[in-house]
Amino acid sequence: MGHPKLVIQNLSKTFDKKAVFSSLSLYINQGEFVSIIGPSGCGKTTILNIIAGLEKETAGTVHIDKIPGYMLQKPLLLPWKTTLENVMLGLTLRQVSEKKARQLAYDMLKKFKLSEYANYYPHTLSGGMAQRVALLRTVLFNNQFLLMDEPFGALDALTRLSMQMWLLNLWQTYKSSVLFVTHDIWEAILLSDRIYVLSSSPATIIKEVNIDLSRPRKREFLKDKKVIAIEESLERLLLSIQ
């Protein structure tokens, strides 16, 4: 891995005098895929919001070399814009000219075999397709560092698996650094190089797990004995802190 893309040191956040998390320290190297898992309400989304500059930390430091692309739980596509126009938004935020943004967005759709949907409006897209469009919009904003907050949580199992494999393909294409929040232990194992496990609130990091398994990851990964062992270990750990 290359130099650190993100370094967080002793990060704390308090709401109305109640600590959400305290003294969190973590890092992400260039090109690394890192996930955060933990109980509901332990501040996973708040961590991403602080990194993205949407919230202010109470204490600690966040070192990041560039504002990341941020993909939320819902695709949040603009209903009056086409697929192409929605993908362009990531470039528009970077003040790229409309002509260039349109060409780059279309090239991106074509590269990932979505160009036939360029003129579709959001209400005509499936949930999985809408998430693909939202992800490409995020990548065009910054394909070097992505924050992702449970982007596949609302999808059915088959669509979710398809999206996970699609994300891995995109990640390998751009060598992106990714910080991914999920409640799904298996999803975290499938996607990640490392996993940070948070305790219940006020959250601290109770474990860092290296996923020392070969890439590229395949669908058959689901049945791998090593994966099952890691999943069971993490499940026991999370159950013990809830």
- Domain with residue 154: its CATH number is 3.40.50.300
Look at residue 93 and tell me if it is in a domain. Answer: no
C-alpha to C-alpha distance for 112 and 96, rounded to whole angstroms:
21
Look at residue 127 and tell me if it is in a domain. Answer: no
Bridge partners of 197? 37, 207
Q: What's the pLDDT at 222? A: 73
Name the amino acid, one letter, at 88. M
Look at residue 153 and tell me if it is in a domain. Answer: yes
Look at residue 116 and tell me if it is in a domain. Answer: no
Look at residue 189 and tell me if it is in a domain. Answer: yes
b/e string for 121-134 if b means 16 or more Cβ within 10 A? bbeebebbbbbbbb
Look at residue 114 and tell me if it is in a domain. Answer: no
Environment class of residue 65 by beta-carbon count within 10 Å: exposed (0-12), middle (13-18) or buried (19+)?
middle
- Residue 172 has φ and ψ, to the nearest 5°, of -70, -30
Look at residue 9 and tell me if it is in a domain. Answer: yes
State which residues of the chain have pLDDT below 70.
1-2, 242
Domain ranges, residue 227:
4-74+143-241
Q: What's the pLDDT at 73? A: 85
Task: Report how many domains make up the chain.
Answer: 1
Q: Are 119 and 83 in contact (CB under 8 A)?
A: yes
Look at residue 154 and tell me if it is in a domain. Answer: yes
Q: DSSP string covering 163-179, please?
A: HHHHHHHHHHHHT-EEE
Name the amino acid, one letter, at 222. L
Taking only the tens place, the pLDDT of each residue in 55-108 is 999 999 999 988 888 998 888 999 999 999 999 998 888 888 999 999 999 998
